[in-house]
Amino acid sequence: MQLTGSQILFKILKEENVDTIFGYPGGSVMDIYDELFRQNIKHILVRHEQGAVHAADGYARVSGKVGVCLVTSGPGATNTVTGLANAYMDSIPLVVFTGQVQTWLIGNDAFQEVDITGITRPCTKHNFLVRRIEDVATTIKEAFRIARSGRPGPVLVDLPKDVIQTRIDEAELKYSISLPDKPVIPNAKRCAKALDLLKKAQKPVIISGGGVLLGRASEELRSFARVLNIPVTSTLMGLGTFPASDPLWLGMLGMHGTYYANMAVSYSDLLIAVGVRFDDRVTSNVEAFAPHAQIIHIDIDPASIDKIVKSHLSIVGDCKPALQWFNKEITSGRLSLPAEQIKSWRQQIRQWKEKFPLAYCRSKKIKPQCVIETLWKITNGEAIITTEVGQNQMWTAQFYRFDRPNTFISSGGLGTMGFGLPAAIGAQVACPGKLVVDIAGDGSIQMNIQELATAVQYNIPVKVVILNNNFLGMVRQWQELFFDKRYSHTDMSHAPDFVKLAEAYGATGFRASAPDEVETVLKKGLHTRGPVMMDFEVEPEECVYPMVKSGDPLTEMSLGDSNIVA
């Protein structure tokens, strides 16, 4: 029996248990789409290729599977670059298939030809240009293995038109691949060295990062922290790894972290950093970061070890087996932290929490923090939340209390505006029975607002909460604080009527203009069938606090009203 390249593609996708593709057709992939017409695989037609990658990204984050995209050549391929870079920065497993002109036209500036493998080399874990029908099966299998193994990431597979049209005898297909698909087991001797540091610690803190989520190690982390009574903070990407309802929880650390998380890290004597890469938004001034602490750094990627913050003890390996090793030592009695040993430390943290909690002032206008707090109360913290990027993202991280892993879906490393809505669509497709809410700003929502049509077409019931302040809020905040309120090109007051726009797309729209309307509009919106867009007219010049100025030590936090705490 002979198979075309397109048929081989779907044969391998089925073997990889792919059930959903996010895509947009075009000339070079028409043969693939023709074959897709005969296949039992769900396809979600987006309105922009960037939206396809973000949707696959959201799908991957909540499902734990590899997200899959299919786009055409030329501009279809280049429109995926931002999504690929976003997934690369956040270590999200994707496989993106791009069409390409016929192999004999490559390099001739043919219609809709671009060197997409060259373009995406810096922002993919790996990429392939498949030049022979004999290599299609092996390449696709390699792509999935690379995407999900080790530190996950996006892989691009470029498929020339003639390769997907060519036929080959099924018996001649090659399937062998060279890459292992096994967890990276940490070195037991290095783990054993960590025991001495743990046993001596009097002011320990755990920093949990996105690697804990990617490694499916949240339960192990929770057990480890609770038995030893070690306070836990997390990076933005680590939210949900440890329950916000737990007394040990410190909240997020870093530029817009809680006062008590930043202080705990700064005055700790031992940091156990699990699945983190110590980016600049977490550390701020690296020289002043955790100056009194010995640092144990556990991460699957050896390139992340000592790259930014020097560790005293590094453990390279998957977070899950590493934490399982420590938990086994706890169970056996070889590892413990006597309550008296860390009693004064926990008292100090309680004092910081009581003196400087997350707070905001009420007013006659809607406060964005109030919208998020109310959303959290109405949903009992059980929704899957996606965000755009900017103030909306930071307020969500602060005021929506995440108790479960893979319920906070946001663009961390790249900070991509326009991420939230398509990511919410992908998350909803992966979890059709869950409530999925995109918390957005009026600026960022407009970058991929066309994907509301996608949600309507497939009746994907995502809910969008717009914190509408008529500004590019985070840039405006910096202009207020550091540029003498020179609001250079951040005024977004010339904007659409989001309620009418939602209705024009076929969705439902609601608006709240006063504080006493917030709860009513949220309840209406969350209980309305289908896609819903809720427009909250919030305080225009509200700022995100606490805030650490870039390059300052974490202990130097502004809490608002020029109140600097040191």
**What residues act catalytically?**
49, 111-112, 161, 474
Q: How far is residue 116's CA from residue 113's CA, in Å, rounded to a whole number?
A: 9
| CA distances from residue 483 to 215, 280, 473, 480, 560 in whole angstroms, order as listed | 42, 22, 14, 6, 16
Q: How far is residue 183's CA from residue 191's CA, in Å, rounded to a whole number?
A: 16
Q: How far is residue 260's CA from residue 468's CA, in Å, rounded to a whole number?
A: 29
Rg of the chain's alpha carbons, rounded to an integer?
24
Cβ atoms of residues 365 and 515 within 8 Å: yes
In sequence order, the 6+-apart residues with CB closer than 8 A to the CB of 241 are: 208, 209, 212, 213, 217, 218, 221, 234, 405
Cβ atoms of residues 503 and 525 within 8 Å: no
Q: How far is residue 517's CA from residue 83's CA, in Å, rounded to a whole number?
A: 36
DSSP strands (E only) in 275-340: 294-299, 313-316
DSSP element (H, E) containing 310:
none
Diameter of the chain by CA atoms? 75
Q: How far is residue 44's CA from residue 346's CA, in Å, rounded to a whole number?
A: 50
Residue type, 253: L
Q: How far is residue 481's CA from residue 389's CA, in Å, rounded to a whole number?
A: 19
Q: What is the DSSP letter of 187?
A: P
H-helix segments, 201-332: 210-214, 218-228, 259-267, 280-283, 319-332
Q: How far is residue 507's CA from residue 502's CA, in Å, rounded to a whole number?
A: 5
End-to-end CA distance of the chain: 74
Task: Give me the residue label for tokens 């867009």.
Answer: 533
Residue type, 72: T
